[in-house]
């Protein structure tokens, strides 16, 4: 057996280049602390990158072979009302539609998972175990240490949210709104297949990091993060329709096109006064009930599909601004209180 030794001096160009590629100092510490998570995340990304084109290809093939493009269960297009077409639409929804909804539901949990699992433990474990003192004793200032922790966690969170959101949006497109029955405004798509997922995940991460810093214990911080992030998601869903200008259509909700998002309904009088939805819903005689409001017509406040990206940008901006504010509080707290 022949053994070849590298006899070049340590200062040779080849050795210098290899050392330059290796993480050192804080970069090495961040890699050591997160290498399992990073490797697992990269594996998931590879699996998703392989599975998504296969799923989209199967969906497109089903739609084309059954001639159901643009068809829904309730459609004004007579060609879509044929029994065979309706059966194919229902078959698509039972199979691919439910799968897409399931993926969307799983991604709804991603911000909570990242906030509690990554954010809340990022600083809390260091404080619990006292390992932060060892890191700071190696000529590393508090600012550099907390910046490295936040930047590493932030990059992991962005990749974990951006890749599945992008792939879900791409896979959903061929069956959008009509065939799949998953509207662009539905919670399982809107909050899972766009920028909002990335921004909400970063917000959840910042909540978790700050909770861990304040409580100094991982488990309580995780519980607090789940509670706060859940409340934030509920609040954002409540105000979402009002984050961008909307239109009012004088049509009953049942007659709205599949492509619009009707988020408020009721009756409107000729002078513009609005009556609450279901005003005559409990009346035995609906006609006589409505006769007390002459000229009243049903209305729906709606967002059109073109409002998708403006709504996404505004909501994402709010989440990122909150995340930046919480991160600033974390940095200031570490600088002044951690001792």
For 189-233, how does the pLDDT look when each residue is reduced to its tens digit (9 = 90+)? 999 999 999 999 999 999 999 999 999 999 999 999 999 999 999
pTM for the predicted model, two decimal places? 0.87
Mean pLDDT confidence for 93-100: 95
Identify the pLDDT of residue 131: 82
Select the more confidently predicted residue: 130 or 166: 166
Mean pLDDT of 38-42: 95
Give the C-alpha separation, 22 to 263, whole Å: 54
- What is residue 1's predicted lDDT score, i.e. its pLDDT? 40
Lateral strand order in the sheet of 297-303 = 247-249, 297-303, 261-268, 274-276
Mean pLDDT, the chain, whole residue set: 88
> Do 210 and 322 touch, CB atoms closer than 8 A?
no
CA–CA gap between residue 329 and residue 337 (Å, rounded):
11
Higher pLDDT, 12 or 210: 210
Is the pLDDT assigned to residue 58 strictly greater than 70?
A: yes
CB 300 within 8 A of CB 308: no
- Write down the pLDDT at residue 21: 59
Which residue would you say has higher pLDDT here, 282 or 298?
298
Widest distance between CA atoms in the chain: 102
> Which of 40-49, 123-132, 326-335 is least confident?
123-132
Pick the range with the lowest mean pLDDT from 60-64, 164-168, 289-293, 328-332: 289-293
For the chain, the domains span: 31-235+312-337, 247-306
């Amino acid at each position: 057996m022949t053994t070849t030794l590298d006899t070049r001096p340590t200062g040779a160009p080849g050795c210098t280049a290899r050392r330059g590629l290796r993480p050192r100092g804080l970069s090495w510490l961040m890699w050591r602390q997160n290498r399992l998570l990073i490797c697992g995340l990269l594996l998931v990304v590879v699996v998703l990158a392989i599975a998504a084109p296969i799923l989209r290809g199967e969906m497109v093939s089903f739609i084309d072979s059954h001639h159901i493009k643009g068809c829904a269960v309730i459609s004004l297009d007579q060609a879509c009302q044929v029994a065979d077409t309706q059966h194919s639409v229902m078959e698509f929804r039972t199979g691919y539609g439910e799968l897409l909804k399931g993926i969307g539901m799983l991604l709804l949990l991603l911000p909570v998972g990242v906030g509690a699992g990554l954010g809340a433990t990022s600083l809390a474990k260091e404080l619990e175990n006292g390992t932060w003192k060892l890191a700071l004793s190696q000529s590393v200032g508090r600012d550099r240490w907390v910046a490295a922790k936040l930047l590493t966690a932030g990059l992991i969170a962005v990749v974990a949210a951006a890749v599945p959101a992008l792939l879900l949006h791409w896979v959903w497109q061929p069956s959008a709104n009509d065939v799949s029955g998953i509207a662009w405004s539905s919670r399982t798509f809107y909050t899972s297949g766009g920028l909002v997922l990335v921004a909400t995940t970063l917000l959840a991460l910042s909540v978790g990091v700050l909770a861990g810093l304040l409580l100094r214990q991982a488990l309580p911080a995780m519980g607090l993060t789940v509670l706060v992030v859940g409340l934030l998601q509920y609040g954002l869903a409540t105000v979402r329709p009002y984050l961008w200008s909307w239109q009012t259509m004088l049509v009953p909700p049942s007659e709205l096109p599949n492509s619009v998002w009707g988020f408020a309904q009721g009756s409107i009088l000729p002078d513009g006064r609005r009556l609450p939805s279901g005003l005559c819903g409990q009346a035995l005689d609906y006609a006589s009930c409505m006769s007390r409001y002459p000229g009243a017509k049903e209305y729906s406040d709606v967002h059109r599909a073109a409002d998708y990206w403006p709504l996404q940008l505004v909501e994402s901006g709010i989440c990122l601004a909150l995340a930046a504010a919480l991160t600033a509080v974390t940095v200031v707290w570490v600088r002044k209180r951690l001792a």
